[in-house]
Chains A and B, each alone.
Chain A
Amino acid sequence: EAGVAQSPRYKIIEKRQSVAFWCNPISGHATLYWYQQILGQGPKLLIQFQNNGVVDDSQLPKDRFSAERLKGVDSTLKIQPAKLEDSAVYLCASSLSQVLGYEQYFGPGTRLTVT
């Protein structure tokens, strides 16, 4: 079974530029998560989708971050404009269902550097 796929693996941009990350969850997984992991910290949830609906986006900086999962499968996370403090690893995870508490499986992450 293929795991969670993410691209790109690395991205370097200048502040005020925009960037987008892509995630393809494990086939059949209804729930998709985006986490932000700043160096030296544990991952922090940015947004959670159940199919194509948002379950939790309470910690998403909505003035600059946006995410979508239009067809309930793959997802895109965008930052516009980027700030220096957005430098982090962005992890995508998926699970079969949030209702039954299935395990979350993580992708390899995208390392973003904002200069």
Chain B
Amino acid sequence: AQTVTQSQPEMSVQEAETVTLSCTYDTSESDYYLFWYKQPPSRQMILVIRQEAYKQQNATENRFSVNFQKAAKSFSLKISDSQLGDAAMYFCAYRRGLTGGGNKLTFGTGTQLKVEL
């Protein structure tokens, strides 16, 4: 079974600074996807960024980028130029690849990000 681990329950960052959230996962499969979701107090899960395991290049979406280390099974999220609106719970998630059948998401326990003025 796949597992996703987020070892940082809480993180804080100053506005305009950079913060990195950590995530490790365990799988025996070679075809999979990794995601970071943001969940604000409204509870709506919002997709921040995705990474396909077969791609060596790290994904980037504006101020958000990932450091994907496949051999180490590590998938960290870097938020640059942090803004007050970035404050939320962030979840790392895993999904089997298309060849694995089914596409349920397996989530970590989350990291609460606080952004301070």
A residues at B contact (CB < 8 Å): 31, 33, 35, 40-45, 48, 55-56, 89, 91, 93, 95, 98-101, 103-104, 106-109, 111
Contact = CB atoms under 8 A, between A and B. Distances in A.
Which of B45, B47, B93, B95 has most A Cβ within 10 Å?
A: B45
B55 interface: no
A35 B104 CA distance: 10
B58 to A, nearest CB: 19
Contacts of A91: 43, 45
B42 A108 contact: yes
Interface residues of B, number: 22
B103 A42 contact: no
A41 B103 CA distance: 20
A105 B63 CA distance: 21
A44 B107 contact: yes
Given A89-B43, A103-B47, A106-B45, A55 B102 contact: yes
A43 B45 contact: yes
Given A93-B45, A95-B103, 7 more contacts: A45-B104, A99-B98, A101-B103, A104-B103, A108-B42, A108-B43, A111-B43
B108 A42 contact: yes
Interface in B61-104: 91, 93, 95, 97-98, 102-104
A40 B104 contact: no
A109 B102 contact: no
B109 interface: yes
Contacts of A31: 103
A15 to B, nearest CB: 23
A66 B35 CA distance: 29
A48 B110 contact: no
A42 B42 contact: no
B43 A104 contact: no
B73 to A, nearest CB: 17
Contacts of B110: 40-42
A8 B2 CA distance: 32
B44 interface: yes
A109 B104 contact: no
